[in-house]
Structure 1
């Protein structure tokens, strides 16, 4: 057949030869590229914490990884990403190990597999304590630092006159560079969800008009005791005092009203000072919660015990003695606060 083509024979043979060569070359390049892409990463110590900053592109990250000798070819990785339509990558910190290759590295950089950190907000803390703790973490973006509450609540999207008590104390996961705003938004949503749920299941006859008043009560319970077995008892005392129009007379509210002036002791003049939070002076609840509140204190505020107790006094070992009458209470005060006061006295567990 080639003889019949006459003078075209040489060109046809040359074309076939070139085609075969190109095919072999392409197969060779493909095999080389595949080998390079599947080559394990060269990571010193077999593990590396690598940070992808906000706004970084695959091009800039791959060039950096090539310069560090971790991947064999930045260009090859970008070509592979373009052909497979995997151009976008996430920001955050990624833990890279020597079991990865360029293909699995790309998949990791596009995934949610970023390094997670944990931060715990403690029950009983004030809002400012929680905020200061967030700002003590160098890898949290402190968007709220130095702002007034009016400015903070705009960023948080919260319409509250006062922030105290409206953030749930819990352990929260976050990634490097996440903001205090994002973490506190989650803490606020969780608090609102728990408060609404417990409000819907509350006992009847409680002296609260709103869930917010129940939250105020829960914050007082939180500061009065850390013993789970006492929370409903404490709640019962305060609920009955409210129902009888008695003052709550609880020290944690006095301390909160003193603010930075509190140095560890409450004096007689502090108990007589008229502040919105001094429940030795005012009747009813203070205007806001006084601390971050655990779920068990919210539950106790909604389900107080049904005894006749109206008083309690710290026994010095972290627990309290409860009394139904003033005479009983005075005897308990003499026993635990005066005559047999413990040398290692403590009011909390």
Structure 2
């Protein structure tokens, strides 16, 4: 009896050794790929067996049981991550499983540009081929609820930057990241703001930053532009900023701002209504946020574009009118 048990023990030991060698060989043998590089996407909620089927369908010769066995041995059968992946020839099943459990995704990128409106941002977002468009056709209020700002306004709420993301990830996740980035930058700048600014709260500073963003593309002028508008707010003067009027005109604006447009009263017409408009008019970048929080100490109350991207600043109306004549009407003062 003892001899039989010894024989069985030797048999099972040999069998286990052979099985271990076989599994190790399968785990470390490079997979056959139909192409030099293969891309595939694992959808959220996919099981490991379902992932193996997706990988096989993409052009990889992979027996699902190998991946399942390795996952069980590595205790990783429930930890694969949804996303888009790319693999190349030479990859082994164990390397593939590690990639799936690490979430080693292929990445795409999308840029949100300073000065874009939310409408422009959304059209750009909807057109990106590597995103999952969960917000397509969704009302703005619902989008804001999904990014964590149920009472928020979308305009100006997202930080302009270049964002990397895993292919086939949700546009909601990308918007939420951009929203959190804007909140973080806005809070940081608000906490370090200059004293005695004429803003009730950080949101009004965001509105001012959006106006500064639209009024100049020249970094040297931003704080001076902010200084002009801050001076006007302090004195109770109308801001009279064209970009805000244009924003209020919406789709009716044809690219030519006319006198009748300046007289057409909307909540965004700063020629007819005092103070700041009710919301931002675009996405301000970090430089415009900083300018709104640290306006230049200036006596200027007016500015006019020179035509080269810069502006001429004036402290009196007479000087301003001369500058308008010089730079916009093509005549000598």
Give your verdict on TM over 0.5: yes
SS in 1 for 2:313: strand
Spell out, residue by residue over 1:182-202, the C-alpha distance to the aligned partner (whole angstroms, 9 max, x if none).
Answer: 111111111111111111111
Residues 102 and 199 of structure 1, relative CA distance in 2, 3 Å threshold:
same
Cα separation, 2, equivalents of 1:232 and 1:223: 13
User: 1:347 aligns to what?
Assistant: none
**Residue 186 to residue 26, structure 1, CA distance change in 2 (3 Å):** closer
2:257 paired with 1:269? no
The answer to whether the Cα contact below 8 Å between 1:71 and 1:102 also exists between their aligned partners in 2 is: no
In structure 2, the CA distance between the partners of 1:16 and 1:276, relative to structure 1 (3 Å rule), is: closer
TM-score by length of 1: 0.87
Structure 1 residue 53: Cα displacement: 2.0
Distance 1:62 1:317, change over 3 A: same
Tell me the SS of whatever aligns to 2:273: coil
Q: What secondary structure is seen at the aligned counterpart in 1 of 2:288?
A: helix
Normalising by structure 2, report the TM-score: 0.91
2:65 maps to 75
Which of residues 177, 180, 183 is equivalent to 1:192? 183
- How far 1:323 sits from its partner (Å)? 1.0
How far apart are the structure 2 equivalents of 1:294 and 1:207? Answer: 21
Give distance in 1, aligned partners of 2:164 and 2:101. 20
Q: 1:29 to 1:163 in 2, by over 3 A?
A: closer
How far does the alpha carbon of each residue in 1:51-79 deviate from its partner, in whole angstroms, 9 at most, with x for none? 22222222233355457773454323322
Match of 1:306 among 283, 289, 297: 297
Report SS of the residue matched to 2:163.
Answer: strand
The CA RMSD over aligned residues, in Å, is 2.3
Unaligned 5+ segments in structure 1 are: 1-7, 342-349
> Is residue 56–residue 91 contact of structure 1 (8 Å, CA) maintained in 2?
yes
Question: Which one is further off, 297-306 or 58-67?
Answer: 58-67
Aligned ranges 1:76-91 → 2 under 5 Å? 76-88=66-78, 89-91=80-82
- Aligned-partner SS, 2:180: helix
Superposition pairs of residues 1-349 of structure 1, within 5 angstroms: 23-63=13-53, 65=55, 70-71=60-61, 73-88=63-78, 89-160=80-151, 162-339=153-330
> Bigger shift: 102-111 or 69-78?
69-78
Which whole-Å CA distance do the structure 1 matches of 2:230 and 2:9 have between them?
Answer: 92
* CA distance 1:43–1:310, change in 2 (3 Å): same
- The alignment partner of 1:321 has SS state of strand
Cα pair distance change 1:16/1:207, threshold 3 Å = closer
1:173 Cα deviation after fit? 1.8
How many Å apart are 1:156 and its aligned residue?
A: 2.6
Q: 1:284 to 1:37 in 2, by over 3 A?
A: same
Where do 5+ consecutive residues of structure 2 fail to align?
none
Q: CA offset at residue 17 of structure 1? A: 6.4
Contact 1:41 1:97 in 2 (8 A): no
- In the alignment, which residue of structure 2 is the partner of 1:5? none
Q: C-alpha deviations, 1:208-257, integer Å up to 9, x for none?
A: 11111111111100000011100001011111111111111110011001
Stretch moving more, 88-97 or 253-262: 88-97
